[in-house]
Amino acid sequence: MLKIRIMPTLLFKDLGLVKGKGFDSWRRVGSVMQSIKVYNMREVDELIFLDISATDEGRRPDFVAIDELADECFMPLTVGGGVRALEDFEQLLKVGADKVAINTAAVEQMDLIAEAARTFGSQCVVVSIDARRVSQGKFRVFTHSGKILVDIGPVELARRSEQSGAGEILLTSIDRDGTMEGYDIDLIREVAGSVSVPVIASGGAGTYEDFVKAIEVGKASAVAAASIFHFTHQTPLGAKQFLASRGYEVRL
């Protein structure tokens, strides 16, 4: 049985880390390097770093900055934001990323998933899906950091991504993002039940119990979170200890 992973998420915008609600990320929450050093000490399982303004600004990833961050990051690092081509995958992996996340490009250039999986292996291809509830029981995918509605459901996109070679799905509820009111369990359950690759639940964690619900009810393989670690005294280690006390296999 795979061990449950706790994955803090760092959202980067305009030279610093930000957080907000519903993808309206305006609140400054510190520097990337400082956060990485803190998470190094707390021995988290993996770290997710997303440049949330790169795609909107038409920028490629900042490879120099990622290189510097990766040198200080002593845990597996997933990097996303601005990835549009196979060369971006190659360069990010060269400078120290362990996995590369694609979001908008996964919708607009589905072939990129297959090309990256063939070239570098499925294990380093993460498809990031941002979804919002548009009507009762109906979810739709949004690209460009939650700004553009796409006429495709997260289940369909997850299935296509898996068939193309994606090794993991990072699934974020835009509605729950930053609220700390709990994950959207319906969304997680629908997507996790439709694919065999690991699904990382994201968006809404406010308590350790929320992690349990995402795993137990939603069937997520891993949980990602940001606000709970920025704005409360709860920690990734505390989360793992809580999960262990509930009988889940974690890395301690």
pLDDT score at 163: 98
Mean model confidence pLDDT for the chain: 94
Structure confidence at residue 23 as a pLDDT band (50, 70, 90) = confident
Q: At CA 55, angle to CA 52 and CA 114, rounded to 5?
A: 105
Which two three-digit tokens encode residue 234? 């709860």
103 is a domain residue:
yes
Residues 6+ apart with CB under 8 A from 112: 84, 85, 86, 102, 105, 106
91 is a domain residue:
yes
Residues 6+ apart with CB under 8 A from 4: 215, 221, 222, 223, 240, 243, 248, 249, 250
What Å distances lie between residue 216 and 11, 177, 189, 200, CA to CA? 27, 20, 10, 13
Q: Give the largest Cα separation in the chain, rounded.
A: 46
99 is a domain residue:
yes
pLDDT score at 141: 98
Q: pLDDT digits over 99-126, tens only? A: 999 999 999 999 999 999 999 999 999 9
150 is a domain residue:
yes
Q: pLDDT digits over 130-179, tens only? A: 999 998 879 999 999 899 999 999 999 999 999 999 999 999 999 999 99
Domain interval for residue 202: 5-245
pLDDT score at 156: 98
Structure confidence at residue 25 as a pLDDT band (50, 70, 90) = low
Q: Percent of the chain, pLDDT > 70?
A: 99
167 is a domain residue:
yes
- Please state the pTM of the whole predicted model: 0.96
Q: What is the CATH number of the domain that holds 55?
A: 3.20.20.70
Residues 6+ apart with CB under 8 A from 38: none
Domain count, the chain: 1
| Three-class DSSP category at 97 | coil
